[in-house]
Amino acid sequence: MTETFRFDPLELPPVCETLRGEVRAFIAEEKAAGRWRAGGDFTSGHSPEFSRRLGARGWIGMTWPKQYGGQERSFLERYVVTEELLAAGAPVGAHWVADRQSGPLLLRFGTEKQRQEILPRITRGECFFCIGMSEPDSGSDLASIRSKAAPVEGGWVMNGRKIWTSNAHKAHFMIALCRTGPIDEKDRHKGLSQLVVDLKSPGISIRPIKNLAGAEHFNEVLFEDVFIPADRMIGAPGDGWKQVTSELGYERSGPERFLSSFRLLVEFVRRAGPAPDERAAETIGRIIAHLATLRRMSLSVAGMLQKGETVNLEAAVVKDLGTNLEKEIPELVRLVARRGKSPNHADLMEEALAYGVLNAPSFTLRGGTREILRGIVARGLGLR
């Protein structure tokens, strides 16, 4: 059956605007105290101290039930908090993955013991996760992963290798997708499972990989006979594929998929000043028009998440369009930026541009490549 796209318009309720004011006041306080400088995107700043301060405000895991440390607030309220933090370039990288997808995954599929043990720590900003999906030779074709977990007394023994794992060297846990059953050539999605792996376990080595910008943000993670207790299995053995695809809906639809170059836009607007020349004005207008549309689409997905609906298709559209825009912004700005000058902001603009140019190639890769997303969209339109 052909699915159709749904991007119902959504107005934020007044409670969201009150909350926006609180987040802005918090950010202003943080900046006035000189606690951090604005960073480039949602991965560029990693500050456990900041995460703890955010947790103390109740802004991590804020949609989760109170019994697990959450605030039972809406996805729309969460949306407002995340977009304000991203727009300000706040150092959200430490808790981002746990808040966005690992916690919700445990809430939905985890055991009661896992929820009680882990979720309150996440909400306090004390427990960070990384995503263990990609492997050498298995990125887009995720079902071809070869990392294996074999049953042993009391748990599982995992062997294999994960790659491109963002912040594995700074996280406490990885949710690792691995093969626990034999390969069924008729259905390669069978026999996959997700395990919560304590990254301090014996047998794990984490090796940094330098990215194009020279930063050590992602890693290769090697598993050699790593014992994982039975109670760290998420859901039932063999349920991994269903779970991992639901996780991707959270991963792909948020404002981080179109705001990665926002700081550059802000600095560009500052440099262009109150009377930008024609080319600068045209560039700014074009970017803002795209951003406004993407924000409406992404908000609409937040509304669907609030209603408990499946968002995989809409999330793929938001991520494809959004990451294309955030990748395009450094290019558009680079072509016109040197025409106007405001010496006061020259350095910040250069810094944001350099960050954007060096990091933009990764924007359309991380979280699923353009081609893969377009395949999902084509299937949704009934074209394949």
Ligand X SMILES: Cc1cc2nc3c(=O)[nH]c(=O)nc-3n(C[C@H](O)[C@H](O)[C@H](O)COP(=O)(O)OP(=O)(O)OC[C@H]3O[C@@H](n4cnc5c(N)ncnc54)[C@H](O)[C@@H]3O)c2cc1C
For position 253 contacting ligand X by CB under 6 A, the verdict is no
Min dist CB 142 to ligand X, Å, is 7
Q: Is 357 in the site for ligand X (CB under 6 A)?
A: no
Give the residue among 263, 270, 265, 259 at the shortest CA–CA distance from 334: 265
Which of 251, 362, 376, 380 touches ligand X by CB under 6 A?
362
Identify whether the C-beta of residue 364 lies closer than 8 Å to the C-beta of residue 325. Answer: no
Q: How far is the CB of 313 from ligand X (least distance, A)?
A: 17
Torsion of CA 49, 28, 271, 327, to 10 degrees: 50
DSSP character at residue 301: H
Contact mark string toward ligand X, 161..190, x via CB under 6 A: ---xxx------------------------
Which of 18, 140, 205, 310 binds ligand X (CB under 6 A)? It is 140
218 near ligand X, judged by CB under 6 A: yes
Q: Which of 101, 134, 260, 283 binds ligand X (CB under 6 A)?
A: 134
Question: How many residues interact with ligand X (rule CB under 6 A)?
Answer: 19
Q: How many angstroms from the chain centroid is the CA of residue 309?
A: 19
C-alpha pair distances (Å), 10 with each of 18, 76, 357: 17, 10, 33
Report the run of H or E that residue 234 belongs to, with start and end. Answer: strand 233-234
- Cβ distance 87 to 259 under 8 Å? yes
Q: Is 106 in the site for ligand X (CB under 6 A)?
A: no
Which segment (8-16, 128-136, 147-155, 347-355) binds ligand X by CB under 6 A?
128-136
- The alpha-carbon radius of gyration of the chain (Å, integer) is 21
Closest CA to 29 of 15, 46, 50, 48: 50
Among 366, 376, 377, 380, binds ligand X (CB under 6 A): 366
Among 130, 171, 228, 266, indicate the residue that binds ligand X (CB under 6 A).
130
300 sits near ligand X (criterion: CB under 6 A): no
| Largest pairwise CA distance in the chain | 71
**Should residue 258 be labelled a site residue for ligand X when binding is judged by CB under 6 A?**
no
State which residue, 157 or 215, has the beta carbon closest to ligand X. 215
Dist. CA 347–CA 175, nearest whole Å: 39
- Using CB under 6 A as the binding rule, whether residue 348 contacts ligand X is answered as no
For residues 293 and 312, which CB has a smaller minimum distance to ligand X in the complex?
312
Measured from each CB, the residue nearest to ligand X is 139
What count of other Cβ atoms lies within 10 Å of the Cβ of residue 212? 11
Does residue number 131 form part of the binding site for ligand X (CB under 6 A)?
yes
CB-nearer residue toward ligand X: 18 or 140: 140
* Stretch of residues binding ligand X (CB under 6 A), selected from 107-115, 256-264, 303-311, 364-372: 364-372
Q: Which pair of structure tokens corresponds to residue 252?
A: 């792909």
Q: CA-to-CA distance for 183 and 364, rounded, in angstroms?
A: 30
Q: What residue has token string 């609180």? A: 22
Q: Which of 48, 53, 58, 139 binds ligand X (CB under 6 A)?
A: 139
The yes or no reply on residue 238 touching ligand X (CB under 6 A) is no
With respect to ligand X, which residue has the nearer C-beta, 269 or 360?
360
> Considering the complex, what minimum distance in angstroms separates the CB of residue 340 from ligand X?
31
Query: Looking up tokens 């013991």, which residue turns up?
Result: 113
> How far is the C-alpha of 165 from the C-alpha of 40, rounded, in Å?
19
Q: Which residues contact 382 (CB under 8 A, 6 or more apart)?
A: 2, 3
| Stretch binding ligand X (CB under 6 A), from 67-75, 242-250, 271-279, 362-370 | 362-370
Q: Which parts of this chain interact with ligand X (CB under 6 A)? A: 130-134, 139-140, 164-166, 218, 362, 365-366, 368-369, 371-372, 375
